[in-house]
Structure 1
Amino acid sequence: MSAPNVTKSNLNFTELPFNVSDSNMSVTESLLYDDEAQEFDNEEKTWMFGAPLLLVFGTISNILIIIVLMRKKFRKSSWGLYLTTLAVCDTLLLYMFSLDSWLQIVFKVWISDETVAGCKVYRFVSYFLVHFVAWILVAVSCERIVFIYFPMKAKIVCRRRTACIVLGSIAFILTGVNAHIFWTFSLTEYDGFYYCDLVDNIAELMGPQFVIIFLWLDLSIASLVPFILMITCNITIIARLIQSDRQRRAATSDGAQKSSTTSIAIMLVSTATMFLILTLPVAICMVLSLNDEFTSTGNNMDNLYFAKRIAEFVQQINSVLNFWLYCLTGKAFRTELKAMLCCGRFSRTPGVSNAYVTRSTSATTQVEHKPKDVKTNGQDNTVKKAQDDTKL
């Protein structure tokens, strides 16, 4: 999510069209220039040294997420498909924003400013991915509601095929919403240079209020609506988990026992919560940019620009942290990762497909899983299954 005007990012404070030492410049103007130059330098250093770290750790983390979720334990689950798609989108976002910002600062190369076609495609993909990531997390949160409140229906509704339909529908709608970019964005001349921005005749082409409508639409799709939905779902899920935990403690003497549904729900709620925290600064900057009173002075505009650039860097951190959140809060994910890294020598827990999760949810209230004592060639089924698992 970014404002359409990017010409500010191309401003080079070492090439301003006036001499800082000019005797006509007042002391106040000199101090303002020094402050602005210092802010620019800090923002530049943040991206110069931070972007490579984000790219390296983000790429490795997301590749590990994809590998783990594509293994037999998770590949049939709907939430596994959602998180795999999320990891792919996060990786693409890292390269589109972090790599692009780093190339601008270090090599003075602007990927989106080379050709008209490149400008249109870059803008479309960037807006699409930002919107898509937010709504993937909304879909995951809604699915958890179904799993926790309607466990028997979840066995039928929350399948991998359903997840494919949901993802496809979201992608189709977002493609339609952002399709206007192909004719509203192009290379625009500014002070002898060409930048990827809204076309000059945008008011004649789309109407005088298009820019405001565009900014509010982007803000609503990427932040406001997903924020409201995810916060509502997360509060509902947490309340249900607390209630289920109390019932479990009252029904069993071992209060430490937790269902797979609870473990997965905690992992997904943590992911959505971290997304909300790390993307909130960008949303605040976008809201302030729509306030005419706040942006009426040039000093506020400059401060807002630099704040937004730092907020965008913080937003990129979200694409790196998901792997560590899964390891920290997801027992099933953590166990499968250990098994993969140990080449199958690590003893793993039973699978957590959607059907298993549904049965586990029901077990917290009335069904108890009973071990089977069936012998197969001198070994029970549990031992045989463990031996088969080590071959994965």
Structure 2
Amino acid sequence: MHYSCEINDSSTMNRVLVTIIINQMLSWSLAALLDPEGEMPVYMEVVGESEYVTGYSLWYPTGNVSHANKCEEILFNQAVTTARLRIDYLPNNTLVAAADYMRLIGRPVIYFVGLFFNVLCVCVLLRRELRRVATCNIMIALAVADCCILFNGFSYWVEYELLHPAMTASRGLCGLAVFTVYFAPEMSACMIMLMSVERLLRHINTPQHEVIFSTKKTRIYIVAILVFLLILNIIPILLFDIYFYECGQQICWNIFHDSTELLEIHNSKAAEEGNYYSVYRWVALVMYWIIPFVGLPIINVWLICAVWKDSVRNESQVQESTIPTSDSGLHRDWQVEEQKSVTRMLISVTVAYWIMTTGFNLTQADIIDVYRNTTDYERAKFSMIYTVFTLLFYMNHASNFFLYCLSARPYREEIKAMWVDIKECIYTKREMKGARRSHVLSRASSYGSITRLAGNQEV
């Protein structure tokens, strides 16, 4: 039977539109019933064998699963720490896109700014007046360690944000990158602790400080800590296999971008008796987080109390034993300002270390697990959490110039003095160049101009 229908009026058109809308709503409802968790399509760019490429998030296996499916799950969850995760939200993927751009742009900006100011800090502290001071020697070692952290960050940026092989290019580059990301932060934390102890002893017992923290002994302490951390961090790199091919990819295993499950799969297949992460996670956590997290507040509070007591003692001595003069008042004001400057610096260092390293260390210790997610929302959320923790970690090591130099007046004055010396050096070189040129011109004029000499020759 043939039916013909002609839509001639507006009421018929409205009925057709309503029917289309109802059908579309019914299809969406049916899809929701089939997908109660509200999963959304996900794209993950994977370089490797085609059998490991994941197309949708609703593939999670249950019970006894195959090795390929397990690899898919692991690689898919690991994507929250790289630029490989792409979640098609409705109407957009704002959260994941923001995390991607924050890492892609924020990382190199922090690296360049941090390297510049840490190198400037080293230049200031290497001046003749400062490099003879114990505190400044420790600060030089701290700035060098921070430079190593920031420079090493470029390899992680290229590997996991630009998706080009940097760490996975060779076993040597992998070992160097993983070694540095553990060694340099531990060196930085130890230098902060050593500097806090040195300042505390200087206020508690100045004569004893001059004996224990002389310039020569301070340098010996720095070298001893350096050698200890080198041995502590290089042995696990040599003993355990962290560079391997698994799940269709070349892996340079590190806790900051790789799941522990991936390492367990490799160890089980390779019959490895030891586990790099289970052995080393607490060593790195204790050296970089637990000891500074507990020790810095205690030392700094003790130091602030010692500075305050010295200030009260000095003020009472000045009031009792000296006649008030303009010079004594200026000297007392200068001492108070110096003590306030040190106090501000200590508080800023402690608060910055707490805020900027806690999240990173919680991730490193697997207390906050960003790799075991079951929904796309969790992946997006942990991608942003991981991004914030990582950027704060690098900002901590990029901001030490401001915390240790700009927050204390002596360092600001030394920076100004260095800038004046640089300008004087440039000005002196220009004057010497101008004087040399004028001397050459004067000698040339004494012989006459070239035209005049040519005229004399013709004659």
TM-score w.r.t. length of structure 1: 0.72
- Report which stretch shifted further, 245-254 or 318-327: 245-254
Q: Which residue of 2 aligns with 1:241?
A: 307
Does the 8 Å contact 1:137/1:272 carry over to 2? no
- Highest relative contact order (Cα 8 Å, sep 6+), 1 or 2? 1
Give the Cα separation in 1 of the matches to 2:196 and 2:271.
Answer: 41
Distance change in 2, residues 1:244/1:312 (3 Å): same
How many Å apart are 1:334 and its aligned residue? Answer: 0.8
Give the Cα separation in 1 of the matches to 2:374 and 2:271.
Answer: 27
Aligned ranges for residues 123-272 of structure 1 at < 5 Å?
123-178=178-233, 179-197=235-253, 198=263, 200-201=266-267, 204-207=271-274, 211-252=277-318, 254=329, 256-258=333-335, 262=339, 263=341, 267=345, 270-272=348-350
Does the 8 Å contact 2:155/2:177 carry over to 1? no
Q: Secondary structure at the match of 1:252?
A: helix
Give the Cα separation in 2 of the matches to 1:251 and 1:41.
Answer: 62
- The CA deviation string for residues 320-339 of structure 1, in whole angstroms up to 9 with x for no partner, is 21222234321111111111
Q: Secondary structure at the match of 1:194?
A: strand
Give the Cα separation in 1 of the matches to 2:97 and 2:238.
Answer: 34
Distance change in 2, residues 1:296/1:19 (3 Å): closer
How many Å apart are 1:152 and its aligned residue? Answer: 0.9
- The CA deviation string for residues 79-130 of structure 1, in whole angstroms up to 9 with x for no partner, is 1111111111111211212x23432366422321111122122211221111
Task: Give the fraction of aligned pairs with identical amino acids, expressed as a percent.
Answer: 18
Distance change in 2, residues 1:171/1:252 (3 Å): same
Number of equivalenced pairs: 324
In the alignment, residue 353 of structure 2 is paired with which amino acid?
F
Are residues 1:279 and 2:357 paired? yes
Give the Cα separation in 2 of the matches to 1:37 and 1:105.
Answer: 19
How many Å apart are 1:141 and its aligned residue? Answer: 0.9
How many Å apart are 1:259 and its aligned residue? Answer: 7.1
Structure 2: which 5+ runs fail to align? 1-41, 47-52, 60-85, 254-262, 320-328, 425-459
Q: Secondary structure at the match of 2:207?
A: helix
- The CA deviation string for residues 16-65 of structure 1, in whole angstroms up to 9 with x for no partner, is 6225899xxxxxxxx98639965442222012221232122212211211
Does the 8 Å contact 1:278/1:315 carry over to 2? yes
How large is the RMSD of aligned CA atoms in angstroms?
3.4
Q: Which residue of 2 aligns with 1:6?
A: none
- Report which stretch shifted further, 147-156 or 165-174: 165-174
Aligned ranges for residues 54-73 of structure 1 at < 5 Å?
54-73=110-129
Q: Secondary structure at the match of 1:100?
A: helix
How many Å apart are 1:251 and its aligned residue? Answer: 3.2
Does the 8 Å contact 1:185/1:196 carry over to 2? no
Q: 1:103 aligns with which of 158, 162, 169?
A: 158
How many Å apart are 1:147 and its aligned residue? Answer: 0.6
- The CA deviation string for residues 195-253 of structure 1, in whole angstroms up to 9 with x for no partner, is 10158227954446x63342222211110112111111111111112222223333335
TM-score w.r.t. length of structure 2: 0.62
Structure 1: which 5+ runs fail to align? 1-10, 23-30, 347-392
